[in-house]
């Protein structure tokens, strides 16, 4: 027993090797860091692909790449940004912050946590490897529609396997998050006292478990159509390519909410902090999140208004889609009401959060336009759609991730980031991202189709401005990497309560949650339990 105790004691004094700490990580903070660094890497790779697209579209005519490679770029850019940048970033934030926010010592399933991360570098290595194979990557857009995707050579099998791995990783991460939130909350923290970020992730995790197997089914059917002679999506064999669209979008629509609900949670933490008052309508925010998640399952065919569905189907999907605007509007109203008549200050996280609210709302309004079935005939598959989803995914999801990085970096690193550089990054990103995507609304309304390498000379000016905005936005993110590196390396020490000036309740929550910083376990007295109150 004594030797065992001594060995255990020794373990504590010898820091783990680099390999042990990072490759065999079971600590939720280290795994969160791995996810965030991986996501940043993928963000830069996916961004480079977007710049290939924007460089080709800088002027009419074919100048840099052949049309086939251009379409490989659109496909890879989308898959990498969705599954490699945005989703892992949110999972990284969940790993870092959920245990701290619910008062848990770690995630519920730390070894599975390690596995769910380490699957990702292999999955994306495989996906990227298709670019270097004969015939190149699939060139059918991120939606992988047949029959187009089935022309992609045997590389389709490689890409499909990569997608399976990403799905496995997501499902394991989601199980872990649900297990942690439902089983490991500190005493006294009932569900309706959890921070909104924790709530949004709990709901997102259920969405992930529900829809990732649907995507797996769709891509497996593609695979058997291509290699095993089935005819799920081949009209010649009695199948239907539109069936693929139904299955894909039954996954794909909840998926886009998977990429925005955690963003809602982040913004609901940041706005109250810098407004110096609690979140307006905490319970309404939770119920609105749940409503959005539920409705996300019954609107999938609004991506398919032009396939020729019955009038009743069009009406149902139009009205159901418009219904989502209500809980989303409740959220925007509550964020604005939190800021209303408050003592706001505009540190970098708050700038990104306010930018999120304004620009995400622009994306919301163009989404409402796309929901109108007869109007959608004009918008469908044009740059208007591209503008819409980039407003919700770039100025929405990505801006919220930036906001979270600035907000929590001092907690993660012990150092303050450079506030002046952070503000420069915000304004540089905001101006360039609007220059990049706003003109695309006009291009789409004028009829420019998406996923094309060449276009009518009438579209030249807006495309030129859009490309300039794209390169400016891309370089702004390299500047962001410098800010993060500088902060990690050192700089002004962060105080115990980083945003103390901003709010007296730092690292707790805008909701009515127990107040403690989780540096030491909370002491619970009997009389507190009666009131559901936990303090130091």
Out of 74, 116, 268, 273, the active site residue is: 268
Q: Which candidate, 87, 236, 244, places its Cα nearest to that of 170?
A: 87
Own/partner long-range contacts of 238-243 (Cβ < 8 Å, ≥24 apart): 241/145, 241/146, 241/147, 242/304, 242/307
Out of 276, 277, 415, 450, the active site residue is: 450
Out of 41, 106, 337, 486, the active site residue is: 106
Distance CA 150, CA 169 (A): 26
- Annotated active-site residue 423? The verdict is no
Burial of 311 (0-12, 13-18, 19+ CB in 10 A): exposed
Out of 331, 388, 425, 451, the active site residue is: 331
- Annotated active-site residue 450? The verdict is yes
- Annotated active-site residue 142? The verdict is yes
The SS3 assignment for 162 reads: helix
- Annotated active-site residue 455? The verdict is no
Out of 226, 302, 314, 441, the active site residue is: 302
Out of 56, 255, 269, 347, the active site residue is: 255
- Annotated active-site residue 257? The verdict is yes
- Annotated active-site residue 106? The verdict is yes
Instruction: State phi, psi for 523 to the nearest 5 degrees.
Output: -90, 130
- Annotated active-site residue 461? The verdict is no
64 close to 52: Cβ distance less than 8 angstroms: yes
- Annotated active-site residue 68? The verdict is no
Out of 170, 273, 338, 348, the active site residue is: 170
Distance CA 195, CA 262 (A): 12
Out of 199, 201, 257, 335, the active site residue is: 257
- Annotated active-site residue 331? The verdict is yes
Out of 328, 382, 429, 508, the active site residue is: 328
- Annotated active-site residue 253? The verdict is yes
- Annotated active-site residue 154? The verdict is no
The SS3 assignment for 344 reads: coil
- Annotated active-site residue 303? The verdict is yes
Quote the tokens at residue 497.
Answer: 């309560």
Helices 419-445 and 399-413: angle between axes, nearest 10 degrees: 160
Out of 28, 54, 193, 303, the active site residue is: 303
Out of 169, 180, 432, 467, the active site residue is: 169
Out of 185, 193, 253, 441, the active site residue is: 253
> What's the longest Cα–Cα distance across the chain?
82
- Annotated active-site residue 291? The verdict is no
The SS3 assignment for 382 reads: strand
Distance of CA 404 to the CA centre of its chain: 12
- Annotated active-site residue 466? The verdict is no
Out of 142, 383, 406, 499, the active site residue is: 142
Task: Report, as residue numbers or ranges, the catalytic residues.
Answer: 77, 106, 142, 169-170, 253, 255, 257, 268, 302-303, 328, 331, 450
């Amino acid at each position: 027993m004594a030797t065992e105790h001594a060995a255990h004691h020794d373990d504590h004094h010898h820091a783990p090797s680099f390999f042990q700490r990072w490759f065999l990580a079971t600590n939720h903070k280290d795994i969160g860091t791995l996810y965030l660094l991986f996501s940043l890497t993928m963000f830069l790779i996916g961004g480079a692909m977007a710049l290939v697209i924007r460089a080709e579209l800088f002027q009419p005519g074919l100048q840099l790449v052949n049309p086939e490679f251009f379409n490989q770029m659109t496909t890879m850019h989308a898959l990498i940004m969705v599954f490699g940048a945005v989703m892992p970033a949110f999972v990284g934030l969940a790993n870092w912050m959920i245990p701290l926010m619910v008062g848990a010592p770690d995630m519920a399933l730390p070894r599975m946590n390690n596995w769910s991360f380490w699957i990702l570098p292999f999955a994306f290595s495989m996906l990227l490897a298709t670019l270097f194979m004969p015939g190149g990557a699939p060139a059918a857009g991120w939606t992988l529609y047949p029959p187009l995707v089935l022309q992609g050579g045997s590389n389709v099998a490689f890409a499909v396997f990569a997608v399976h791995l990403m799905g496995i990783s997501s499902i394991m991460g989601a199980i872990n998050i649900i297990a942690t939130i439902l089983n490991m909350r500190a005493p006294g923290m009932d569900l309706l006292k959890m921070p909104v970020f924790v709530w949004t992730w709990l709901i997102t995790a259920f969405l992930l478990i529900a829809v990732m197997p649907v995507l797996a089914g769709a891509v497996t059917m593609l695979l058997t159509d291509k290699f095993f002679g089935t005819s799920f999506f081949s009209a010649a064999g009695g199948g239907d390519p539109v069936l693929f669209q139904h299955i894909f979008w039954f996954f794909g629509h909840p998926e886009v909410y998977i990429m925005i609900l955690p963003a809602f949670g982040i913004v609901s933490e940041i706005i109250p902090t810098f407004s110096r008052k609690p979140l307006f309508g905490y319970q309404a925010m939770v119920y609105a999140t749940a409503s959005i998640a539920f409705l996300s399952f019954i609107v999938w065919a609004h991506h398919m208004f032009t396939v020729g569905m019955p009038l009743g189907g069009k009406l149902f999907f139009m009205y159901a889609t418009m219904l989502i605007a209500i809980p989303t509007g409740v959220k925007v109203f509550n964020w604005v009401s939190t800021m209303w008549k408050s003592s706001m200050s505009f540190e970098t996280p708050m700038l990104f959060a306010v930018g999120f609210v304004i620009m995400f709302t622009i994306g919301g309004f163009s989404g409402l336009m796309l929901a109108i079935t007869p109007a959608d005939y004009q918008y469908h598959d044009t740059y208007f759609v591209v503008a819409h989803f980039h407003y919700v995914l770039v100025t929405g999801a990505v801006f919220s991730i930036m906001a979270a990085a600035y907000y929590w970096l001092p907690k993660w690193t012990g150092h303050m980031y450079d506030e002046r550089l952070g503000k420069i990054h915000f304004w540089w990103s905001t101006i360039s991202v609007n220059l990049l995507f706003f003109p695309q609304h006009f291009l789409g309304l004028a009829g420019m189709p998406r996923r094309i390498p060449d276009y009518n000379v009438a579209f030249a000016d807006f495309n030129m401005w859009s490309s300039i905005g794209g390169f400016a936005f891309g370089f702004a993110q390299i500047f962001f990497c410098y800010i993060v590196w500088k902060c990690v390396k050192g700089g002004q020490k962060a105080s115990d309560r980083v945003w103390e000036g901003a709010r007296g309740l730092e690292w707790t929550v805008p909701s009515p949650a127990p107040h403690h910083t989780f540096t030491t376990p909370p002491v619970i007295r009997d009389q507190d339990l009666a009131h559901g109150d936990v303090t130091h």
